[in-house]
Amino acid sequence: MDQDSQDKQREFNDEALVHLDTLYNVALRLTGDAADAEDLVQEAVLKAYRAWDRYERGTNCRAWLLTILRNTFINEFRKRSKRPDPVSFETVEELTVFENVQDVDPEGSFFRHIVDDEVRRAIDELPEEFRTAVVLSDVEGLSYAEIAQVMGLPVGTVKSRLFRGRRRLQRRLYEYAVEMGYIRP
Amino acid sequence: MRLFWKRKGPAGPRPQDIDCGQVMQRLYEYIDGELDDPDLVARIRAHLELCQRCYPHYGFERAFLRFLAEVRDGAPPNLRRRVFQRILEEETRKG
């Protein structure tokens, strides 16, 4: 292997592959399946490696990689995704759960009783438009501008999706906590 | 709205400079540190400090977001190896 290839690999490793955990976590929430998530990450990373010369140095590498990952998911993986069709946009209540819990648990202690697997399931049930925004923001800590870049949306749309996605997720977790007896309805 | 104020506030923006509905509308942006307008940030902060209705709601939303941040899956250990393998194959193929 020539020196250029070695340099490219080293640079790609140092700048891009440090984000592998993020790519995998987002891929897992997008596909809902560990094997599909690994395939998606491998495809996306390989595309990124091929396009590495076109990556503008000093810009946001994480957002660049996540954009490739999401586009790969939409173009190649969504058709074979194992997840059920998402609930229609209009049918879910998006009122804040705080109104329900303010007298019995205003600090939201009931969240602490909910196991991680149930939270993952609730995230996975969100429609993709909301799920991606919530995962990028609330699990991976991206800014609104970064999410807008990854999803190819205006920042205003990101805000609205985040708002609605969070409210839906909160409602789903609250309903689960009520079912399990962690909180009085 | 006056009923919700906890106590008299310090000099600066007054809690009634923004109403509860407007605070709730921008609450996530406030928590996320995404508001560009420092005056708006100051007005929301002053309101939250003194509003007995909005402050607990603010605490609840923060607890919810802190909780979500903990649900993160790291890449399996052998994924890194597989990714490297794909890159090496790519380089070999290019030859």
- Tens-place pLDDT, residues A20-73: 999 999 999 999 999 999 999 999 999 999 999 999 998 999 999 999 999 999
- pLDDT > 70: what percent of chain B? 87
CA distance B62 to chain A (A): 9
Q: Are residues A159 and A119 in the same domain?
A: yes
Which amino acid does the sequence have at A88?
A: S
ipTM of the complex: 0.86
Does the pLDDT value for residue B12 go beyond 80? no
pLDDT tens digits for range B43-85: 999 999 999 999 999 999 999 999 999 888 889 999 999 999 9
Residue A185 included in any domain: no
> What's the average model confidence in pLDDT over A6-22?
93
Does the pLDDT value for residue B2 go beyond 60? no
CATH number at residue A10: 1.10.1740.10
- CB proximity list for B30: less than 8 A, separation 6 or greater: B23, B41, B44
- Chain B residue closest in CA terms to A113: B67
CATH number at residue A111: 1.10.10.10
Read off the tokens for A126.
Answer: 């969100």
Domain count of the fold of chain B:
1
Does the pLDDT value for residue B6 go beyond 70? no
Is B26 in the A-facing interface, judged by CB distances under 8 Å? Answer: no
Q: Are B68 and A102 an interchain contact pair (Cβ–Cβ within 8 Å)? A: no
- pLDDT > 70: what percent of chain A? 92
Cα separation of B34 and A116, whole Å? Answer: 28
The answer for B 49-78 residues in CB contact with A (under 8 A) is 56-57, 59-61, 63-65, 67-76
Q: Are residues A39 and A69 in the same domain?
A: yes
Cα separation of A85 and A163, whole Å? Answer: 21
Long-range contacts of A136-143 (CB under 8 A, 24+ apart): A136/A26, A136/A66, A137/A162, A137/B32, A138/A166, A138/B65, A138/B68, A138/B69, A139/A25, A139/A29, A139/B68, A139/B69, A139/B71, A139/B72, A140/A22, A140/A25, A140/A26, A140/B72, A141/B69, A142/A62, A142/A63, A142/A66, A143/B32, A143/B34
At A161, the pLDDT band (50, 70, 90 cuts) reads: very high
Residues spanned by the domain of A110: 98-179
Backbone angles phi, psi at A91, to 5 degrees: -90, -5
Is B90 in the A-facing interface, judged by CB distances under 8 Å? Answer: yes
Nearest CB to A111 within list B29, B59, B63: B63
Q: Are A120 and B56 an interchain contact pair (Cβ–Cβ within 8 Å)? A: no
At A96, the pLDDT band (50, 70, 90 cuts) reads: confident
CB-CB neighbors (< 8 A) of B91 in chain A = 1, 5, 9
Domain count of the fold of chain A:
2
- pLDDT > 90: what percent of chain A? 81
pLDDT at B1: 46
Backbone angles phi, psi at A109, to 5 degrees: -65, -25
Nearest CB to B57 within list A98, A137, A139: A98
At A84, the pLDDT band (50, 70, 90 cuts) reads: low
Does the pLDDT value for residue A90 go beyond 90? no
